[in-house]
């Protein structure tokens, strides 16, 4: 599998959406919106979530919806599928965002 990331992907770690005082609770809607804003993720329009295998991307989708946007999709193949395909564009981990 190739290393790197999908073009225009923005890394937003799912762990940031858990309440640091209670690791079994998600953050509230305002905090979720701030996490996305701090990562420079525009969640006001259509969003596609992805991760390594498609599992933790569900947390991102839930948080996008919690922040007020129901217009999101989860790419369930995620990097596991994308990184193995010869016909998909890839950006190296060290390359700046395009």
Instruction: Return the active site residues.
Output: 51
Counting Cα atoms < 13 Å in the Cβ hemisphere of 84 gives 6
CB 12 within 8 A of CB 36: yes
Q: In 3-state terms, what secondary structure has residue 57?
A: helix
Q: Which residues pair with 5 in a beta bridge?
A: 91
């Amino acid at each position: 599998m190739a290393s790197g990331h999908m073009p225009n992907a923005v890394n937003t770690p799912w762990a940031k959406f858990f309440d640091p005082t209670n690791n079994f609770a998600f953050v509230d809607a305002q905090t979720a919106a701030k996490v996305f804003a701090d990562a420079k993720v525009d969640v006001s329009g259509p969003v596609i979530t992805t991760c390594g295998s498609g599992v933790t991307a569900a947390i991102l989708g839930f948080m996008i919806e919690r922040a007020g946007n129901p217009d999101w999709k989860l790419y369930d193949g995620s990097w596991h599928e994308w990184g193995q395909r010869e016909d998909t564009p890839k950006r190296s981990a060290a390359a700046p965002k395009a």
